[in-house]
Amino acid sequence: MQAAILISLIGQVTSLHAQPLPGDFVYLRDIDPTIIQDIRYATSNNFTGHRLAGYDAPECVVKREVGLRLKAVQQELAKQNLSLKMFDCYRPTRAVADMVTWSKNGKETAAEHRYNPSFAKADLFRRGFIAHHSGHSTGAALDLTLVDLKVDNSAVFDPNKDYADCTAPEAARAPEGSVDMGTGYDCADPRGYTAATSITPAQRRWRGLLVAAMGRQGFVNYAKEWWHFSLPGVGRAAYDFPISPRRQ
């Protein structure tokens, strides 16, 4: 009897510890482990310079339908020796609040200014680069780029290095480990607009390829951010559960 009770208690603890995702959310790795992930807000390598609240693991979490469509995009890109790379997926509302608090702290370091070289971070809201509410919190919005699997993508971010701003030539700005889209990720600048004409023809072709591949699966690009896409009709309510380590 005691053994049975112990086994029952262990089962209950294990079930609680697993903390299944709510609603129809899934870990993208469970849908397609070949898609590269570089979840920036789970690290200090982002425009705030710190890990955002709620990012307890560097995992891409999305609505199931979003994950299945990303898998379809990845299968198409694989024929060209390309891969998607995820920068951000589901974003807890507490992380959005963390961004808001950061934007109002009255400080701006040189490292932070790399992401908005043409204006002060206090203007990020007015210019539409940060909002009090984010589609990411619904699980239907994504930040991503392309990786050319035929080239060397081994360069990594060095927090002690003084990189040029996000609009600088690829060799001078912080490494992305991806194709050259003309700016770095999260670059709050007109050059980061998807249809910017101030970038090279090759950079425009990469952006066009990404937008076209995502569009064939129903994803819509945000015109001010070449990296941002959403899937209309899939996510409605905003969530605030933390991103926990994925269980094997």
pLDDT in tens, 201-212: 999 999 999 999
Expressed as residue numbers, the domain containing 83 is 22-230
Q: What is the pLDDT of residues 110-132, one digit of tens each?
A: 999 999 999 888 888 888 788 78
A 10 A CB-CB count for 111 gives: 16
Domain contains 15: no
User: Does some domain include residue 1?
Assistant: no
In a domain, 157, yes or no: yes
Helix (H, G, I), strand (E, B), or coil: what is residue 225? Answer: strand
Q: What's the rounded mean pLDDT across residues 215-225?
A: 97
Is 85 inside a domain boundary? yes
Average pLDDT (158-186) is: 96
Residue 199 lies in a domain: yes
Residue 53's domain is classified under what CATH number?
A: 3.30.1380.10
What is the value of pTM for the model shown?
0.90
Is 6 part of a structural domain of the chain?
no
- Is residue 44's pLDDT more than 80? yes
Residue 9 inside a domain? The answer is: no
Q: How many structural domains are present in the chain?
A: 1
User: What Å distances lie between residue 92 and 29, 108, 133, 147, 241, CA to CA?
Assistant: 19, 24, 10, 26, 6
13 in a domain, yes or no? no
